[in-house]
Amino acid sequence: MTLRRRAALALAAGAATGCATAQPVPAMPVGIDGAGLHQRAAAKGLAFGAAVSTRQLVDPAMESLIRAECGLLVAEYEMKWAELEPQAGDRRFRRADILVAFARRHGMALRGHTLVWHESEPAWLGGLDARATAAAMAVHVDATVRHWRGAIGTWDVVNEAVAPEDGRPDWLRRTPLLERLGPDHIALAFHLAHTADPAARLAYNDFGCEHATFWSRRRRVGVLALLRGLLRAGVPVHVLGMQAHLQAGQPFEAREWRGFLAEVAALGLTIEVTELDVNDAALPAAVAARDQAAAALVRRFLDATLAEPAVRAVVAWGLSDRDSWVRQGRLPEHRRRDGTQARPLPFDEALRRKPMWAAIAGALDAAPVRG
């Protein structure tokens, strides 16, 4: 029996026993063979991919890992407004073009991330009045979507617009664009993107909805209210992107989560997991136990998520721990008190498969085939 066949059986056995309860995910022998995540996803009519950056493409080992595991790519930051237009009117598509060319050369789909996000607005926008701001946003959305017209399958048009804690009656985030242009700038961005590329699917993308906590529940209510309002107004929204930055240590209830996904699907939207990773700061330092716990959470989350037929893609926010944004320590909750490095993604620093890889593989193998 070949190694490949033995590995496939081992993974299948792992998939068979790794049911939705918190079963330990089988430890992955280093370098075990086995079909890549993209192939497993495609066998079910799903897409699997990852966020990548152009600097990763110059690393031969990473480039071949991306090609082995991904059928879909998204730019970690090269397509964000602040990167695309550092000075007003000075549009710079070249770096993201490298990524788009790589994906197209290797037959990979692309997500566009993200046209309007309060954390990636160019600094010069702050000096404009409302009229000039609206014009700048309109030109940015139109020029960007037109530049990659036909290449981007789904655009994250607006990212993270819900923030109940900001105290507005509509639970929208008090962003500079919202303060200056009002909530209608959200609908405007979607209409502009649709006009620029009528074939692109347009997504609203957000985070923090996944767990069985008051905070997540409130965010789910806010996201649903936003989606319903946009759809009632005839805004071309086709996809809900759920970032799925999972928090180890926070409760996850499959039934509750599936109920939310069913409500979204009932609106006629498809759903994409857009930024999957695990913040393991609350887990013990011991690597084996930490990896197993993170993998078990991912398996439970994906088993519940992929049971919803409207879910069509799973994108990890990176492939290897070494590139994870969690290690940047931007957010206080990402910082481990013991000073050890976070392990949020399916591959370790040496690009070896971790138990989280087996968890994703098992969930994809167990997922129902999409029509």
Site string for ligand XIL, 283-322 (x = CB under 6 A): ----------------------------------------
Q: Whose Cβ is closer to ligand XIL: residue 275's or residue 280's?
A: 275
Residue whose CB is less far from ligand XIL, 83 or 97: 83
Rounded Cα–Cα distance for residues 195 and 187 (Å): 12
Reduced to 3 states, what is the DSSP secondary structure of residue 173? Answer: coil
Q: Nearest-CB residue to ligand XIL?
A: 325
Closest separation in Å from C-beta 207 to ligand XIL:
6
Report the nearest approach of ligand XIL to the CB of residue 72 (Å): 16
Q: Residues near 215 by Cβ (< 8 Å), separated by ≥ 6?
A: 208
- Minimum CB separation of residue 360 from ligand XIL in Å reads 19
Instruction: Tell me which amino acid residue 169 is.
Output: P
Q: For residues 53 and 77, is the Cβ–Cβ distance under 8 A?
A: yes
Contacts of ligand XIL in 90-149 (CB under 6 A): none
Q: Is 347 in the site for ligand XIL (CB under 6 A)?
A: no
Residue with tokens 């037959």: 107
Nearer Cβ to ligand XIL, position 56 or 159? 159
Instruction: Decide whether 158 or 307 has the Cβ nearer to ligand XIL.
Output: 158
Distance of alpha carbon 49 from alpha carbon 51, whole angstroms: 7
Give the C-alpha separation, 104 to 158, whole Å: 24
CA distance 61 to 100: 19
Q: Using CB under 6 A, count the residues that bind ligand XIL.
A: 7
Position 159 contacts ligand XIL (CB under 6 A): yes
Residues in the chain: 371
- Interhelix angle for 287-306 vs 355-366, to 10°? 20
155 binds ligand XIL (CB under 6 A): no
The least CB distance from residue 274 to ligand XIL, in Å, is 8
3-state secondary structure of 278: strand
Token pair of 29 as six digits: 């022998």
* Smallest gap from residue 53 Cβ to ligand XIL (A): 8
Tell me the closest approach of the beta carbon of residue 253 to ligand XIL, in angstroms. 23
Cβ closest to ligand XIL, residue 245 vs residue 336: 245
Identify whether the C-beta of residue 249 lies closer than 8 Å to the C-beta of residue 213. Answer: no
- Triad 243, 244, 245: Cα angle to 5°: 100
Q: At what angle do helices 214-232 and 254-266 cross, to 10 degrees?
A: 10
Token pair of 234 as six digits = 């005839």
Q: Determine which helix (DSSP H) or strand (DSSP E) holds 314, and give its type and residue range.
A: strand 311-316
Region of 31 (left: φ > 0; alpha: ψ -120 to 50; beta: rest) is left
Q: Least distance (Å) from ligand XIL to the CB of residue 361? A: 24
Q: Which listed residue (190, 325, 347, 357) binds ligand XIL by CB under 6 A?
A: 325
Question: Which residue in the block uniquely carries the two structure tokens 């799973």?
Answer: 314
CA neighbor of 345 nearest in space, from 302, 316, 365: 316
- Residue whose CB is less far from ligand XIL, 119 or 179: 119
Please state the closest distance from residue 77 (CB atom) to ligand XIL, in A.
5
Q: How far is the CB of 119 from ligand XIL (least distance, A)?
A: 7
- CA 280 vs CA 89, 292, 363: distances in Å: 41, 11, 20
Binders of ligand XIL among 200-219, rule CB under 6 A? 207
In the complex with ligand XIL, which residue's Cβ is closer, 190 or 325?
325
**Shortest Cβ 243–ligand XIL spacing (Å):** 6
77 binding ligand XIL? (CB under 6 A): yes
* Identity of the residue, 257 or 325, whose beta carbon is nearer to ligand XIL in the bound complex: 325
- Please select the residue that binds ligand XIL; options are 133, 175, 216, 243, rule is CB under 6 A: 243
Nearer Cβ to ligand XIL (48/325): 325
In terms of CB distance, is 56 or 243 closer to ligand XIL? 243
**Tokens standing for residue 312:** 């069509």
Contacting residues toward ligand XIL, per CB under 6 A: 76-77, 159, 207, 243, 275, 325
